[in-house]
Amino acid sequence: MAEKYTPNKPKDAGLEARQKLGWWHAYRFLILRRISQLSIILMFLSGPIWQFWILKGNYSSSMLLDTVPFTDPLITAESLVTGYLPEITTIIGALVIVIFYAIVASKAFCSWVCPMNMVTDAAAWLRRKLGIRQSLKISRQLRYVVLAMILVGSAITGTLLWEWINPVAAFGRMFVFGTGATLWLVAVIFLFDLLVAEHGWCGHLCPIGAMYGVIGAKSLIKINVIDRNRCDRCMDCYNVCPEPQVLRLPLHGDAEDSQIVLAKDCITCGRCIDVCPENVFTFGSRFEKQVKIKNI
């Protein structure tokens, strides 16, 4: 007779890990991600505050120490489809970003760099605490449709369509320039995630995330399942993961299926590692071979 498992309540996600493994274990990657995100904002602020620019520019285009260019691949792609050839530094900056994220980790920009992640994480946390579970059902493939529409629309109009409403750049400008005019856009996304669709923006609509998903599809660092037998179906990982569909195959697929989260939609945030009281997950390489693949 199969053993019965009782899932934890969504609002208690991480509580069991905190009780069994300690506070730091239950929040370590979340804390490290916040340090990373806030440090990048501080690097943008270094010029206005200390008159020494670590990062000059914004999330669409910047320079590290006035030497290394960074350019958003989406804005570069928009420029190219309009028929405009960007400056060589812009192209180099895009290549630097593409190569880095193609090698490192799937959608690491979304979870470790993007400032909007703090907004959507806050909405998801509040949603769990308030017990808001009904959501508008949206296809997760819609973000790739939005990405294609932006590129086609930019090609037709000859303008950088996305930059008119880019919430990542808007949120970054709020910190750097103190501009509140685009605060409404950030608020709309927060309320959309909170009240309309769970993980609605990052998980279903964001074209930047779609772009980084394509870029990092074959990246090296992945979330690995150490041993399926440890899983007690508490569901905490599903409750905190912004892309919970990526967990199904590694955790519950056939014995011959990979136990590495290879889906391009995984944002490599590490929250499943944080909240798992049974230490089922770990960071690892896409090339690691799993030795314990027996189904639970």
Q: Does residue 57 form part of some domain? A: yes
Please tell me the distance from the alpha carbon of residue 278 to that of residue 16, in angstroms, as a whole number. Answer: 9
Q: Select the more confidently predicted residue: 235 or 5.
A: 235
Bridge partners, 190 (sequence order)? none
- pLDDT score for 237: 94
In the chain, % of residues over pLDDT 70: 91
Helix (H) or strand (E) holding 123: helix 116-130
- Name the pTM for this structure: 0.88
Q: How far is CA 188 from CA 75, 120, 143, 242, in A?
A: 23, 11, 17, 18
- pLDDT score for 4: 58
CA quadruple 5, 10, 12, 15: dihedral sign: positive
Q: Does residue 3 form part of some domain? A: no
- pLDDT score for 213: 93
Q: Does residue 224 form part of some domain? A: yes
Tokens of 209: 């995330």
For residue 123, with 0-12 CB atoms within 10 Å meaning exposed, 13-18 middle and 19 or more buried, which class applies?
buried
- Smallest Cα–Cα separation from 146: which of 209, 197, 103? 209
Q: Does residue 2 form part of some domain? A: no
- pLDDT score for 259: 75
Please tell me the distance from the alpha carbon of residue 210 to that of residue 40, in angstroms, as a whole number. Answer: 22
Tell me the per-residue pLDDT of 57-109, one tens digit each, with 9 for 90 and over. 888 889 999 999 999 999 999 999 998 888 899 999 999 999 999 999 889 99
In the chain, % of residues over pLDDT 90: 58
List the domain range (segments joined by +) for residue 45: 13-288
Q: Does residue 98 form part of some domain? A: yes
**Domain total of the chain:** 1
Q: Determine the average pLDDT of the residues in 203-208.
A: 93
Q: Does residue 119 form part of some domain? A: yes
CA 250 from chain center: how many Å? 19
Q: Does residue 65 form part of some domain? A: yes
- pLDDT score for 58: 86
Q: Does residue 5 form part of some domain? A: no
